[in-house]
Amino acid sequence: MKPQTKEKIYLIIIAILISACAQFYFTYQYQPAHNVRIYYNHEHELNKEIIQITRQADKFIYFAIYTFTRNDIKDALLAAKYRGLDVRGITDKNQIASLEIQRDIIKELRNAGIPILEQDHSSIMHLKTMVTEKGYASGSYNWTGSGTNSNDEILEVGHDESIRKQYEQTLARVFEKYE
């Protein structure tokens, strides 16, 4: 076999390999793992999951919470604000009016520059959800001592982008409704 023929064969093989790699590169779509966990509060400290999501965020934290009396979660939200994140929330106006500790927590968050909205209708704002650019948490869990230690509560924590984006869009609509 002539040296020029060998070189042509090698060039053809290299061209085929490059085209196969290009085909794979342009048709493959990365699908991240659908990382979703469900926690029951008598088997897991749900407040630590909320704090973990807060600490992992790099850009924003949006939340809606019916009852909010846990100082450790408040402190995590304040720390996120001080790190420069966009932190905002909504809570139930009747809970603020009836629970002094919730009123104090919301006042401290607002004084730190965190906008906290209240619903303007006679029914309750009963969401219990947090979303960041990296994940979400939602369930029956109110951010309270009894929600953490006594009641039967559940919390779904996930990093599935499709679900996370839906929570983000839903909270954006809720915020827009009450701004």
Exposure b/e, 133-151, CB count within 10 A at least 16 = b? bebbbbbbbbbbeebbeee
Looking at the chain, the number of H-run helices and the number of E-run strands are 7, 7
pTM of the model as a whole: 0.81
pLDDT digits (tens, 9 = 90+) for 126-164: 999 999 999 999 999 999 999 999 999 999 999 999 999
Residues 132 and 159 in one domain: yes
Residues 85 and 47 in one domain: yes
Residues 107 and 168 in one domain: yes
pLDDT of 35 above 90: no
pLDDT of 1 above 60: no
pLDDT of residue 95: 95
Residue pair 132/157 in contact by the 8 Å Cβ criterion:
no
Pair of tokens at residue 96: 């603020």
Dihedral in degrees, nearest 10, Cα atoms 48, 32, 138, 96: 70
pLDDT digits (tens, 9 = 90+) for 84-104: 999 999 999 999 999 999 999
pLDDT digits (tens, 9 = 90+) for 37-83: 999 999 999 999 999 999 999 999 999 999 999 999 999 999 999 99
Residues 79 and 131 in one domain: yes
Pair of tokens at residue 167: 């929570």
Residues 38 and 66 in one domain: yes
Share of the chain above pLDDT 90, in %: 78
Q: Please give the residue range of the domain that contains residue 81.
A: 34-178
What CATH number corresponds to the domain at position 166? 3.30.870.10
pLDDT band at 5 (very low <50, low <70, confident <90, very high): confident
